[in-house]
Amino acid sequence: MDAHVTIPSRFNGPPDSGNGGYSCGVLAAFLKGAARVRLQLPPPLDVPLDVHANADGGVSMADGDRLVGTAVPAPLELEVPPAPTLAEAEDARHRYPCYTGHVFPTCFVCGPGRPEGDGLELYPGPVRDWSLLACPWRPRSDLLDSAGFVRPEIVWSALDCPGYFACLGERPEPAVLGELHAERLAAVPGDRTLVVYAWPLGRDGRKCYAGSAIADPGGEVLARARSTWILLRK
């Protein structure tokens, strides 16, 4: 299998590279079911990337001779806490720590410096304390498929940045996504406001871990993920 993908500049994380969750989702789309995607370097924007099948059943994505990322099918073992209510998520977003001072203010997922409606506008804040963060999400119509469901790579995007704020807490430090292990449990509808939430899963040196999930207003979990973040060296 040989294919090509491009990460459009709209879907940036840092200004000059792809949002980690979106980039992982683009690669995971070549596999079925839960997948673990590892990014080896910041995904370049607006550049044709080569996708190749690997002997282990996974796929790899490369920019010429530079390996950008790999994905393998892998069951996800992750205990997901009950979803906050939509009212709790609406309230929590007011406590988002980076409305000002965001290290990447134009991030497609969580950057408050984008034009209205251009990004996902996910601004998670603590529900009661920093053990659980949440925010509401109403997907835009241009991010849906022909059946009215959120496109898979956008689901992966939404599972990304909330984990960053969960694992780094009240004073987030600059970090990039190293790995995202995600699973869509059901089609994510685009015609209602959803709850996106995340929780910390520990820290080991420069690596931080978090869980994240998307639930419908009734609390049904539609997608979940475990993320690994790499703190940037000061």
Query: Using 50, 70 and 90 to split pLDDT, how confident is the model at 28?
Result: very high
Query: For the residues 76-88, what does the mean pLDDT come to?
Result: 98
pLDDT in tens, 210-224: 999 999 999 999 999
Query: For the residues 49-61, what does the mean pLDDT come to?
Result: 96
pLDDT in tens, 146-204: 999 999 999 999 999 999 999 988 877 888 899 999 999 999 999 999 999 999 999 99
The whole-angstrom separation of Cα 184 and Cα 26 is 14
179 and 96 co-located in one domain? yes
Query: For the residues 7-24, what does the mean pLDDT come to?
Result: 97
Phi/psi at 117 (5° precision): 85, -5
Q: Residue ranges of the alpha helices (H) in 152-224?
A: 152-158, 161-168
State pTM to two decimals: 0.96
**Residue 56 · residue 49 · CB < 8 Å:** no
The whole-angstrom separation of Cα 96 and Cα 228 is 21
60 and 90 co-located in one domain? no
One-letter amino acid at 171 equals R
Query: For the residues 110-136, what does the mean pLDDT come to?
Result: 97
> What is the DSSP code (8-state) at residue 153?
H
* CATH number for the domain that contains residue 172: 3.10.129.10
Q: Among residues 73, 98, 115, which one ends one of the domains? A: 73
Query: For the residues 222-233, what does the mean pLDDT come to?
Result: 94
116 and 66 co-located in one domain? no
Query: Using 50, 70 and 90 to split pLDDT, how confident is the model at 83?
Result: very high
38 and 96 co-located in one domain? no
Give bridge partners of residue 96 from the DSSP assignment.
Answer: none
pLDDT for position 233: 79
Percent of the chain with pLDDT over 70: 99
pLDDT for position 2: 81
> What is the DSSP code (8-state) at residue 141?
G
**Residue 143 · residue 130 · CB < 8 Å:** no
Note down the domain range covering 127.
86-231
The whole-angstrom separation of Cα 165 and Cα 146 is 32
Given a cut of 80, whether residue 234 has pLDDT beyond it is no
**Residue 78 · residue 211 · CB < 8 Å:** yes
46 and 96 co-located in one domain? no
